[in-house]
Structure 1
Amino acid sequence: MRELRRSPQGGALVALGFEPSDPTGYGRLELDDQGALLQVCEQAEIDADPAKAALGGIRLCNAGVVLAEDRLLFELLAQVGNDNAKGEFYLTDIYGLAKRQNRRTAVHVAPEEEVMGINDRCELAVAETLAQERLRRRALLAGATLIGPETIFLSEDTQLGRDSIVHPHVVFGPGVALGSGCEVKSFSHLEGCRLADGAVVGPFARLRPGATLGRGARVGNFVEVKNASLGAGAKANHLTYLGDATVGDGANLGAGTITCNYDGFAKHHTEIGAGAFIGSNSALVAPVKIGADAIVGAGSTVTQDVSEDALAIVRGTQKQVEGGARRFRERRRKKD
């Protein structure tokens, strides 16, 4: 529009136009033989005035954007009246007013998808589809692999590093950045997180705001990470919740590990040192620190710090009653 206004074909006002597949409802742009804009005629005027009915056949429509020198624009707006079928003040009357003052006007035509009207949820869905197609194409051309791209939903600011792979049915909320060679498997949801090169997520994983994965880190199925960082090579492969936590390089978190970060009043931090091993079905009650290379035995509920290289096991004593199972079944059979 700027280039057109400065060119010999430009003028005092430049309107933005487009040619929709269905022009019904849009204001029509009437041009003269030289391509100058004569007027904008709204749909209501076309419907109400038989003399303007022929303008309904015009395909070129008003996108609602005008470029003009500010002083002239406000002078024209001051002259806009409401002498029309609906008694409304049509700002688009400025083009006809400019023409009557012998001021040249011009039109720049844009693609429909850039300026289409959105008046209901159906049209919003159409616009979303067009936007997603554009974002997917941009990601593919930048070197990412999208498997089943029509099932993958991106945000405007999604960054997918070169040679990263995204499997079907993945949703990227705002604020996601992937390094190179990452992999996001199906049915994962990512928002406000960063992945270093070679990190792997999913399937069925959820990364919430503040999640950070180091180089080669892995977050597997049914793992949720919120405001927590995993160091290089750290793993939480299944059924784990990490909230408000720091996990050191190479640490391994077994299935069912939970950081108990909220006490009903405040959030607390959990620190897991490099090389630590957290056994399955362990609960780490924050604030708590697990030292580097420490081991937490499966099924432990840890409420105190564990020092470096220590083995911590927090369980009730196992009790075994010989023949107890047989006697239990016999009692039940007698009751039945």
Structure 2
Amino acid sequence: MATALVILAAGMGTRMRSDRPKVLHEVGGAPLIAHALRAGLALAPERVVVVTGPGMEDVAAAAHEEWPEAGIAVQAERLGTGHAVAQAAPFLQGFEGDVVVLYGDTPFVRPATLEAMSAARAEAEVVVLGFEPADPARYGRLVTEGEDLLRIVEWKDADAGERAIGLCNSGVLAAPAPLLFPLLDRLEPAAASGEYYLTDVVALARAEGARATVVRGAEEEMLGVNSRADLAAAETAFQARARAAALETGVTLTAPETVFFAHDTVIGRDATVEPHVVFGPGVTVETGATIRAFSHLEGAHVSRGAVVGPYARLRPGAELGEEVRVGNFVEVKSATLDEGAKVNHLSYVGDAAVGAGANLGAGTVTCNYDGVAKHRTEIGAGAFIGSDTMLVAPVRVGAGAMTGSGSVITEDVPDAALALGRARQVTKPGLAARLMQMLRERAGKTKDR
């Protein structure tokens, strides 16, 4: 059966105390709405509609990063979840498949759970995702009889018997479009709030002879984000899941609770990650690599057997070949380091290509920015860059070439050549002792005054 996703993302989230829409706040380096979309995309939907509010073009842009063809429906008035889903109708005209309703502020619904809901559609027209929280609190209750869902009761409307039910409503729902949208047109506003609730669809569908049922998910999947405290809890939950997944796939984490992952971090088996490492978005670490303590990586690729850190920073565009060494207090950005290259101490390598087996001494800097534009540095295979060398780009140091320590290199260095770019040393015998004596005498006279 064909599937369409409707993602509800119109809420501003006033409890977030933020100028940004709630669904743009990030967990694991990705906005909440991206997590919701990715879960839904596991169903291979034919269409995706994101319901936003007025002036929320930034939410639409975030949705389009995940699904460029997504339709953007604007809910001009926030009149409840049923009203919000109804705004997707113009984008799904003629669609005969299933509609799955998700929420942009609920990032952890598992693809497997959504697949179970799709499978349950073979037995019932309306499928609701339920869960049994440790504390049901004020969640809506799912009233069932066997496998049938009879109705959804909001907590404020529930009697004592209904409040005793432990099965709660997540809000996630699946139903065929030809059934769902006519039912939405028949919703009545709630007396107290004037809002139209999606939950009322269940009773309306049953009144027409349709069957409704429940698929149960885990409580941690239903974590919604409505406040900064919720956001922190969501980040904690995400990191716990990411760490467990890494350990399960054969990654060594020597202090798992201190390692932080992004939503798309990929680490190969037999890689080792030491304490206090942060992975920003876009990082791949291959089998057998080691990321030492207190390193920060984003937008980087680390090949097999490479060692990074401690205290290293890999910025976007860092490409490390096999057996590369990037050591303490080294920063690499938009640079390729070929197999076996070494940058072990206190260096900056930006907008550069470093050849296989090249060795960059402590304090090497590729001076890539002239105040207006960036320029590239090329260092050939097997080159040796002396400590404290400034490579003023654009410049090329040839294969097997060397630079003297403390040099400022402003011109290309041919293969196998030695380049020195520093002033000649001048030595004045005995001058240090005389200078120090003069300074002491001057200091003494000043003190006597």
| TM-score between the two structures when normalised by the length of structure 1 | 0.93
Q: 1:219-264 CA distances to partner (integer Å, 9 max, x unpaired)? A: 0000000000111110000100000000001100011100000111
Q: CA deviation at 1:44?
A: 4.0
Number of the residue aligned with 2:122? 6
Aligned pairs for 1:89-238 (under 5 A) are 89-238=196-345
Q: CA deviation at 1:62?
A: 1.2
Task: Provide the C-alpha distance between the structure 2 equivalents of 1:120 and 1:43, rounded to a whole number of angstroms.
Answer: 21
Q: Does 1:330 align with 2:330?
A: no
Q: 1:95-150 CA distances to partner (integer Å, 9 max, x unpaired)? A: 12122333221111101111222211222222222222222222222222111111
Which of these residues, 170, 173, 179, is aligned with residue 66 of structure 1? Answer: 173
Number of the residue aligned with 1:25? 138
Given that residues 63 and 116 in structure 1 are in contact (C-alpha distance below 8 angstroms), is that contact kept between their aligned partners in structure 2? Answer: no
CA-based RMSD of the aligned residues comes to 1.4
4+ long deviations beyond 4 Å: none
Structure 2 SS opposite 1:93: helix
Given that residues 290 and 307 in structure 1 are in contact (C-alpha distance below 8 angstroms), is that contact kept between their aligned partners in structure 2? Answer: yes
Task: Provide the C-alpha distance between the structure 2 equivalents of 1:275 and 1:297, rounded to a whole number of angstroms.
Answer: 15
Higher relative contact order at CA 8 Å, sep ≥6: structure 1 or structure 2? 2
Structure 2 SS opposite 1:6: coil
Given that residues 271 and 288 in structure 1 are in contact (C-alpha distance below 8 angstroms), is that contact kept between their aligned partners in structure 2? Answer: yes
Number of the residue aligned with 1:244? 351
Task: Provide the C-alpha distance between the structure 2 equivalents of 1:173 and 1:83, rounded to a whole number of angstroms.
Answer: 44
Structure 2 SS opposite 1:2: helix
Which of these residues, 365, 371, 385, is aligned with residue 264 of structure 1? Answer: 371
Larger radius of gyration: 1
Structure 1 SS opposite 2:240: helix
Structure 2 SS opposite 1:80: coil
Task: Provide the C-alpha distance between the structure 1 equivalents of 2:160 and 2:191, rounded to a whole number of angstroms.
Answer: 15
Given that residues 248 and 274 in structure 1 are in contact (C-alpha distance below 8 angstroms), is that contact kept between their aligned partners in structure 2? Answer: yes
More deviation, 102-111/280-289: 102-111
Alignment gaps of 5+ in structure 2:
1-116, 445-449
Number of the residue aligned with 2:154? 42
Task: Provide the C-alpha distance between the structure 2 equivalents of 1:35 and 1:87, rounded to a whole number of angstroms.
Answer: 32
Q: Does 1:55 align with 2:162?
A: yes
| TM-score between the two structures when normalised by the length of structure 2 | 0.70
Task: Provide the C-alpha distance between the structure 2 equivalents of 1:194 and 1:333, rounded to a whole number of angstroms.
Answer: 56
Letter in 2 for 1:24: A
Given that residues 28 and 60 in structure 1 are in contact (C-alpha distance below 8 angstroms), is that contact kept between their aligned partners in structure 2? Answer: yes
Structure 2 SS opposite 1:92: helix
Q: Identity, % of aligned pairs?
A: 54
Task: Provide the C-alpha distance between the structure 1 equivalents of 2:200 and 2:329, rounded to a whole number of angstroms.
Answer: 59
Task: Provide the C-alpha distance between the structure 2 equivalents of 1:63 and 1:83, rounded to a whole number of angstroms.
Answer: 19
Structure 2 SS opposite 1:175: coil
Task: Provide the C-alpha distance between the structure 2 equivalents of 1:80 and 1:224, rounded to a whole number of angstroms.
Answer: 59
